[in-house]
Amino acid sequence: MEKKLIFENTKAIEAHRSLIKRQCEQLNEAIEAFHSYQPFKQLTSEASALEYLTGPLAEFDNTIISGLKIHRTPGLKLDCETIAQTYGINRPAFIQATKTVHLNETLRKTITWQDGKFIVNEDELQKDLEQFKVYAETPEEIETLDHWKSLRDILNEHLDRKYIDKISANAVCHRLGTLQVNNEGKFELRDGPLAAIIKNNAPVRQQK
């Protein structure tokens, strides 16, 4: 039996979508900074980009040292800031541009590499957004959902036939807790309370 959607948290969905979009933007800005502030290396693969993002400054410094063919003396630490300044490389600007970048591993599956940059993986995102949706899945849950939808439709027909007025409609909503009157004066289901009733066998509660 096909499951039926009861409720989706649209605010949470939009917030999560925005979070992933912003993560892509931040990662791409960090990659752009790497390309802008040194001339020696381009990040052309997902693997190289991800390796860089685990430590942008360390990768930047190593790229400069390698690109300039500076010899490393065992036991001595190179002064990368002085080296960069000597060769006209704006290391402080790079640090400023990448100081807030952070690859959120929990979002990793919803981001993919394409044409030299990170983009949202829409297929994985849709799967991820399922956590913000509640479905009627069992025959009993689907029957309960259909019952409430039928009740809503019957009550709206009562309104159309003027069997009940607005005051009575509000009283019904208050009593049942799973209905509300929308801006058009029609009954509609309150998805959150309805989902609680169907999924948790919660009792119907009056609206406060």
Query: What are the structure tokens assigned to 115, written together?
Result: 């044409």
Chain centre distance of CA 173: 33
The closest alpha carbon to 65, from 80, 49, 77, 51, belongs to 80
CA distance 80 to 125: 40
Mean pLDDT of 32-45: 97
> Above 80 in pLDDT, residue 24?
yes
> Above 70 in pLDDT, residue 202?
no
Q: What is the pLDDT of residues 127-145, one digit of tens each?
A: 999 999 999 999 999 999 9
The amino acid present at 195, given as its one-letter code, is: A
Query: What are the structure tokens assigned to 130, written together?
Result: 């399922």
> Above 80 in pLDDT, residue 204?
no
Q: Hey, how many other C-beta atoms are within 10 angstroms of the C-beta on 134? A: 19
> Above 90 in pLDDT, residue 74?
no
The answer to whether 6 and 144 are in contact (CB under 8 A) is no
Q: Tell me the pLDDT band of 2, cut-offs 50, 70 and 90.
A: confident
> Above 90 in pLDDT, residue 208?
no
> Which pLDDT belongs to residue 28?
97
CA distance 9 to 146: 20
Mean pLDDT of 109-129: 96
Q: Tell me the pLDDT band of 83, cut-offs 50, 70 and 90.
A: very high
> Above 90 in pLDDT, residue 6?
yes
Q: pLDDT over 70 for what percent of the chain?
A: 96
201: left (phi over 0), alpha (psi -120 to 50) or beta: left
- From residue 34, how far is each of 53, 58, 68, 80, 192 by CA, in Å? 10, 11, 16, 15, 46
pTM (whole model) above 0.85: no
Q: Tell me the pLDDT band of 36, cut-offs 50, 70 and 90.
A: very high
